Amino acid sequence: MSMNNQGRPSGSGEAFPASIATISGDRGLDHEEGLIFELGHGATGVDLPDVQISESRLGGARRSGAIGLPGLSEPEVIRHYVRLSRKNYAIDSGLYPLGSCTMKHNPRLNEKMARLPGFGDLHPLAPQSTTQGALEAISQLMNWLTTLTGMPAVAMSPKAGAHGELCGLLAIRTAIQARGEDRKRILVPESAHGTNPATAAFAGFTVDEVPALSNGRVDAEALKAKLGPDVAAIMLTNPNTCGLFEGEIVDIAKAVHEAGAYFYCDGANFNAIAGKVRPGDLGIDAMHINLHKTFSTPHGGGGPGAGPVVLSDRLAAYAPIPLLVADKNGFRLIEDAADAPKGAKPFGRMCAFHGQMGMFTRALTYMLSHGRDGVRQASEDAVLSANYILASLKDVMSAPFGDGPCMHEALFDDSFLDGTGVTTLDFAKAMIDEGYHPMTMYFPLVVHGAMLIEPTESESKHSLDRFIHVLRTLATEAREKKTERFAGAPHLAPRRRLDETAAARKPVLRWKPDPLKAAAE
Ligand SMILES: *Cc1c(COP(=O)(O)O)cnc(C)c1O
């Protein structure tokens, strides 16, 4: 993409008549911002004393050239970082309807607890006698997770959902080896999140895809027909990525166990059922829980995630180290498989140390501040919000499974745009001009032109109504072939339509100084 000398992509002024094209490159109070290296002009924010050190004391170590650090005044540095922070669309700036990602409000209480010096200043190598309170907090969180899921064990160290999937599959692989069997095939429904087949392949399994039915559920008969002595496990998401509950799950679990295989459940959508259904009762053997989705801790650019994995009786013995145990001397992390309690056969470890303490503290705070009834109500409200959106929009946008209620996500497809001249991407980009981050686009893959909306429980009815009003208006205008606002959208964002393919295929990951400018300095 070519840039003009204000660092704006050329053509970005198209939306404005030439007479009011911006002089500075800024738009309203939305400022253009270069890299700090481009902005540097040799100033310094502090005055340093001119130290006189003799050449002999320097021992020939005097720098011969510039070190290439940008030089700016203190206010310029502050403005630079504040402007950058304002470029980030976040759950704290507006509704973030991304389906599957579960972008919910992160209560400030969580942040306050995570910053308490006893948690925030902990070092993972601190002697365990000095970290008893933190270990007790982890133990409490484990208790919440095993109670909410009805599963006997939980491995806390995985650092994200995908990492949890890997942990679960490694436990399954070890259990199969312990039985002296060789099972290599994993069944994955075609609606699965991409991490499921990727994890299975990474753990050395082959992936066998199970088709979906026209009602958006997995084809249970096709799944059962694929079971056999070489099947290690199935990986199923429930509620699935179409936002639908897999009603045949108990039946599926039974067939899987009868075939000697394990049931891995992708629990990223646990926020739809927490406090309502215990996955252990459904026959699940392993499931990761994205603390950063279900229990409100930040994710993405906002901080690391945490993906604890709950394990059934059939897998509990293989949980990775470290193991957290409590005895009369207090809490203790067992870091060596040789020290594991009787019966435990840890398959190894997932990472250094015990997991994301900051996320644990936030998630536990969320649980304690809501209580068990509150966690259940959060799930109920998340499902109610999604159904409100589905019911309010399905007459103007097309909903492939709109006949029945949904769980925590409302799924639409792009057939309502057929023949309008508005593309799916145009529609998403037009939302940006209205101050909304687009929903999840083109996922799940089982629905053509999918648009997956997850409002979560933390949006008020007022906020949902405003969002619905915007989408209804956009959908109505598109259907009336009023394509003006859609073509080339966004018009009002700092950048116009970007080339997403080039961004993915030819990413520019490193800034290089302009050689002419560098020579002149
Ligand atoms: C988010 C998500 C994952 C992966 O979780 P990460 O923490 O991003 O690794 C897996 N499956 C589903 C259904 C998800 O929504």
Each residue's pLDDT tens digit, 144-194: 999 999 999 999 999 999 999 999 999 999 999 999 999 999 999 999 999
Q: Whose CA is nearest to atom 4 of ligand 1?
A: 161
Would 438 be classed as within a structural domain? Answer: yes
Domain boundary among 339, 365, 391: 365
The verdict on the CB of residue 297 being under 6 Å from ligand 1 is: no
Could you give the percent of the chain with pLDDT greater than 70?
A: 94
- Given a cut of 80, whether residue 302 has pLDDT beyond it is no
**Is residue 5 in some structural domain?**
no
Calculate how far, in angstroms, residue 336's C-alpha sits from the geometric centre of ligand 1. 30
What DSSP string describes 355-376?
--HHHHHHHHHHHHHHHHHHHH
Last residue of a domain, one of 348, 365, 382: 365
Ligand 1 pocket member 237 (CB < 6 A): yes
Atom number in ligand 1 closest to CA 163: 9
pLDDT of residue 8: 45
Q: Are 256 and 402 in a shared domain?
A: no
Q: Which amino acid is at 251?
A: D
Protein residue whose Cα sits closest to atom 3 of ligand 1: 161
Question: 258 with 146, same domain?
Answer: yes
H/E element, 309: strand 309-311
Tokens standing for residue 400: 């492939």
Among residues 433, 474, 482, which one has the least CA distance to residue 451?
474
> How does DSSP classify residue 188?
E
162: in domain: yes
Is 98 among the domain residues? no
CA of 249 to the centre of ligand 1 (A): 20
Tell which atom from ligand 1 comes closest to the C-alpha of 307: 7
266 Cβ below 6 A of ligand 1: yes
Q: 197 CB less than 6 Å from ligand 1?
A: no
341 plus 431 within the same structural domain: no
Q: Which helix (H) or strand (E) holds 377?
A: helix 357-393
Q: 377-403 burial, b if ≥16 CB within 10 A, otherwise e?
A: ebbbbbbbbbbbbbebbbebbbbbbbe
pLDDT at 16 (0 to 100): 57
Are 161 and 249 contained in the same domain? yes
> Are residues 343 and 456 part of one domain?
no
Sheet strand arrangement including 440-441: 410-412, 451-453, 440-441
Residue with CA at minimum distance from ligand 1 atom 15: 100
Asked if residue 386 and residue 248 are part of one domain, the reply reads no
Predicted confidence band of residue 25 (pLDDT cuts 50, 70, 90): confident
Over 60: is that where the pLDDT of 9 sits? no
**Average pLDDT in the chain:** 92
The residue whose C-alpha atom lies closest to atom 14 belonging to ligand 1 is 268
Calculate how far, in angstroms, residue 126's C-alpha sits from the geometric centre of ligand 1: 32
Q: Is residue 101 part of a domain?
A: no
Report the residue among 157, 188, 195 best suited for mutation to probe ligand 1: largest number of ligand atoms under 8 A from its CB. Answer: 195
pLDDT tens per residue across span 68-117: 889 999 999 999 999 998 888 889 999 999 999 999 999 999 999 999 99
Residue ID of nearest Cα to ligand 1 atom 1: 101
Specify if 28 maps to a domain: no
Q: Is residue 312 part of a domain?
A: yes
Residues 195 and 233 in one domain: yes
CA separation, residue 150 to residues 141, 259, 276, 360 (Å): 14, 23, 11, 19
Q: What total of structural domains would you count in the chain? A: 2
Question: Pocket of ligand 1, candidates 100, 169, 269, 356: which has the most ligand atoms within 8 Å of its Cβ, to mutate?
Answer: 100
At position 71, the amino acid (one-letter code) is G
- Indicate the residue type of 299: H
CA of 162 to the centre of ligand 1 (A): 6
Q: Do 208 and 332 reside in the same domain of the chain?
A: yes
- Across the range 413-432, mean pLDDT stands at 97
160 in ligand 1 pocket by Cβ < 6 Å? yes
Percent of the chain with pLDDT strictly greater than 90? 79
Task: Give the three-class secondary structure for 207.
Answer: strand
Q: Is 162 in the pocket of ligand 1 (CB under 6 A)?
A: yes
Q: Is 268 in the pocket of ligand 1 (CB under 6 A)?
A: yes
417 CA to middle of ligand 1, Å?
Answer: 29
Three state DSSP letters for 383-432: HHHHHHHHHHHCCCCECCCCCCCCCCCEEEEHHHHCCCCCCHHHHHHHHH
Q: Which atom of ligand 1 is nearest to the CA of 162?
A: 9
In order of 32, 62, 74, 242, 419, the CA distances from 80 in angstroms are 10, 32, 10, 41, 45
Longest dimension (CA), the chain: 85
Tell me, in angstroms, the distance from the centre of ligand 1 to residue 227's CA: 25
Confidence band, pLDDT 50/70/90 cuts, at residue 3: very low
Q: End-to-end alpha-carbon separation of the chain, Å? A: 27
Q: Which of 65-79, 108-122, 204-218, 397-411 has the lowest mean pLDDT?
A: 65-79
Give me ligand 1 centre to Cα 510, in Å: 28
- Please calculate the CA angle 311-315-316 and round it to the nearest 5 degrees: 65
What is the reported pLDDT for 11? 45
Task: Specify the range with the lowest mean pLDDT, choosing from 115-124, 248-257, 373-382.
Answer: 115-124
Distance 195 CA to ligand 1 centre (A): 7
Among the listed ranges 51-55, 75-79, 102-106, 514-518, which one has the minimum average pLDDT value? 514-518
Task: Label residue 104 exposed, middle or buried (CB < 10 Å: 0-12, 13-18, 19+).
Answer: buried
271, 382 Cβ separation under 8 angstroms: yes
Which residue range forms the structural domain that includes residue 136?
110-365
Domain boundary among 365, 397, 412: 365
Shared-domain flag, residues 311 and 338: yes
Pocket test for ligand 1, best of 157, 193, 237, 439 (most atoms within 8 A of CB): 193
- Vertex 246 angle, CA 284 and 272, to 5°: 80
Q: Read off the CATH number of the domain in which 445 is found.
A: 3.90.1150.10
Kindly state whether residues 230 and 293 are assigned to the same domain.
Answer: yes
- Supply the pTM of this predicted model: 0.90
Same domain, 123 and 224: yes
Q: Which residue has the higher pLDDT, 32 or 324?
A: 324
Which residue CA neighbors atom 5 of ligand 1 most closely? Answer: 161
Ligand 1 lined by 240 (C-beta under 6 Å): no
Q: Which of the two residues, 90 and 365, has the higher pLDDT score?
A: 365
In a domain, 229, yes or no: yes
Q: Are residues 420 and 335 in the same domain?
A: no
